Amino acid sequence: MELSYVKLSVSINNIIPLKRIIARSLNPGLSVLCGAVADAGDVIANVSRVRRAPQPHYSHRVLNDEELDMTAWKRSHWRDMQSILRREGGQKEGVQCCPSVLEMVTKKGGRTPTGLYVELYEDGENQQRLFEVSCAPNVVDKPCRFVDARLYNESRCIQKYSYSYALVRYLHSAATETPQPRTEGHFSVPGSGGWSMDYVRVRAGCECQIKPKSNKPARRRHKQRKRNRRVVENDET
């Protein structure tokens, strides 16, 4: 079997025109691509040249003398409360907003829930002792500790009361008065010379109370404005 080979001959003159054809076919694509890259560069350059708008400057409001004094007072009050916490924080019962004192007292007499004054039992050295929880000295009717500064001036330490069971005797003056209804738990001790068991009032703690300011003047002004509006509307009609 004989193989026949076909000899292909290409002359140099045919190669040069072929290169020109390929170059002409590629030039439009390259020009488009380069143009896109060039345009992107212009956009980036433009973005880099854009300056941000200046942010508005808000000047701080100048505080008046009253506000400055209030700010200074708040800082001083906060330091005082921190000092109290460090000084009294080790107590088992914790730190109280209105300090109180536990006392065992002896009294000659006391008030019943009905308001009558009665004599407390006493026989020489044998005296009744009652437990009372009283507000500490210089605390009653004073502002409470650890209260928000906005409510500090509206806060007050108030002495609270309760009733304790005791051996009492009604005084002769009370016996001649109109009989008062006996409280629950009251009973007489037979053969004791008029002694009986009853409740008497005792101090039972120091409490913080908040009493908001009255808005009566503002309400009056609001009502007056409504009246004035009605008068004007009636005049117009």
Q: What radius of gyration do the chain's Cα atoms show?
A: 48
Largest CA distance in the chain: 160
Compute the average pLDDT of residues 79-101.
Answer: 86
CA-to-CA distance for 174 and 121, rounded, in angstroms?
Answer: 16
Higher pLDDT, 192 or 88: 88
Q: 93-216 sits in which CATH class?
A: mainly beta
| Stated pTM of the model | 0.54
Token pair for 229: 């509006």
Residue 194 · residue 207 · CB < 8 Å: no
Q: What is the residue whose two structure tokens read 């019962």?
A: 93
Lowest mean pLDDT among 60-74, 93-107, 149-163: 60-74
Q: Which helix (H) or strand (E) holds 202?
A: strand 195-210
Residue 163 · residue 131 · CB < 8 Å: no
pLDDT confidence tier of residue 109, bands split at 50, 70 and 90: very high
- pLDDT tens by residue, 29-39: 444 444 444 45
DSSP 8-state code for residue 112: -
- pLDDT tens by residue, 68-87: 777 777 888 788 888 888 88
CA-to-CA distance for 100 and 108, rounded, in angstroms?
Answer: 23
Residue 27 confidence (pLDDT): 52
User: 107: number of CA atoms within 13 Å, CB side?
Assistant: 21
- How do the domains of the chain map onto residue ranges? 93-216
CA-to-CA distance for 217 and 153, rounded, in angstroms?
Answer: 19
Winning range, highest mean pLDDT, from 8-17, 31-40, 97-106, 119-128: 97-106
- pLDDT tens by residue, 162-184: 999 999 998 865 544 545 555 55
